[in-house]
Every structure is written in structure tokens, then in C-alpha cells.
Structure 1
Amino acid sequence: MVVGQLDRESADRVFAALADATRRDIVTRVLGEAASVSALARNYDMSFAAVQKHVAVLERARLVSKERRGREQLVRGDVGTVRAAAQLLGELEELWRGRIGRLEEVLADPEGADPR
């Protein structure tokens, strides 16, 4: 992965991971401050193992990283990956705004309309 950019495979992993509300919430919680997996698990009505699986999906997408501290595993959000995803979304938005703008121009210009 190029710094600041997501390749196609990485983007797929990031957006697939963020498709789940629990995982989005976990990322939001750990972007500001690291939290242990057990502390995260207390926030959800699911098993510790289920939260671990969510964290593993986020880790594969590089949205979070884990660090062992004694018996705990601390989870930290990766701001760089979040920024890269936001940049990709911004580029897609710009592309579509350009296409919509062009379509508006074509529709507004009666001379450019096909007389058929």
C-alpha cells in the first residue's frame, strides 16, 4: 500500500470492515484513545469472542492495530488508514460531481440535444 492511498484490495477490506455498525463503533472508540479488547467488549451485547472477531477483521483491514500489554491486548485506531479511505471517497465524490455537472450542462443546452 502506498502511504496515503489504498490499493483496490486494501480498499475492499477497509470498506467491508466498515460495513458493520459494531466495527464502525469500535474504530470510533479507539481512534481517540486505545482500549483493551475486554473494555471494548463491555460496550456490546455480545460475547468477548465475538468482539475479538470484530477486532480481527478491523486489524486485517489495517483500521486498528493490537499491542499486548501484560495480559491485555490494547487496540488502537489507525488514523492513516481512515484518512486514506476518506481520500478515496473524496476522489469518488469529485468524479461523480463532475459527471453530474457535465450532465446538467448537456441538459441545459438545447443546441447540444439530439434532434431525433
Structure 2
Amino acid sequence: MTLKLPPVDPARMEQEWAADQDVLRNLAANGDQASIRRSVDVSFRGSEDNLERLSEAAEELGLTELGHEDDAEGGDPWLFLERVQAVDEKSIRALTELCLQIEQLFDLEYDGWGCEAQTGTVH
């Protein structure tokens, strides 16, 4: 089965991209070298059934499942996924576009990405 990814709403993409640029600026301010590949995690929340569908499709989408988490306030549960990639603007923009497509395709709420800063120095 090949998934057909829907087009992304340009306004939604720009909204997410503005938030992404804040994260990228913070990483850069901490000495991050964006070209260093590392694990980047993404999170989605929604119904258990929709999260399960995404979990089953994750590998086909180039993502690895990290785990599920129930919402502390009794809201929808979360699914955490990751992939190894660089965090330069082009790579992050592509990841955000994919996540917004996943959001639409699986009727979930995309909640952003995160990673550890990589300075290229060994601790």
C-alpha cells in the first residue's frame, strides 16, 4: 500500500514554519550545527484509532515509533515518532510539510518537532 499524501494548506505551513524558525534560531544560539544528522522527534495527538493507523504506517512514512502517552488531563492520547536527519531549514521544512500531511491524512493534531542541539564537540 502506498499512501497518497494530501496537499498542505499554505497558511498552516507558514504558521508552523514561523514556529520552526524560532526553534532553529534557539538551536543556532546554542551552537548547534544544523548539518549534523540526529534523531528528530515529532508528536501527534488524536483518537486511539487514528494514532494506531499512523503507528502502522510510520515506517512507510520514514518514521520510527518512540511510544504512546495518555494525556494527563484525560484528553486525547499522544504518539511520538522520530527520524534521523539534519536540522537545516530545507530539512526541517520538508519534515514539517510531511507532518502536516500526516495530520490531514490521519485526522490528528501535529504538535511540532524537537531535537538535541549538536555542536560537533564530544562531551
Instruction: Tell me the TM-score range normalised by the shorter chain.
Output: under 0.3
**TM-score, L = length of structure 2:** 0.25
| Larger RCO (alpha carbons 8 Å, 6+ apart) | 2
- Structure in which a larger fraction of residues adopt helix: 1
> Structure 1-normalised TM-score?
0.26
Larger gyration radius, structure 1 or structure 2: 1
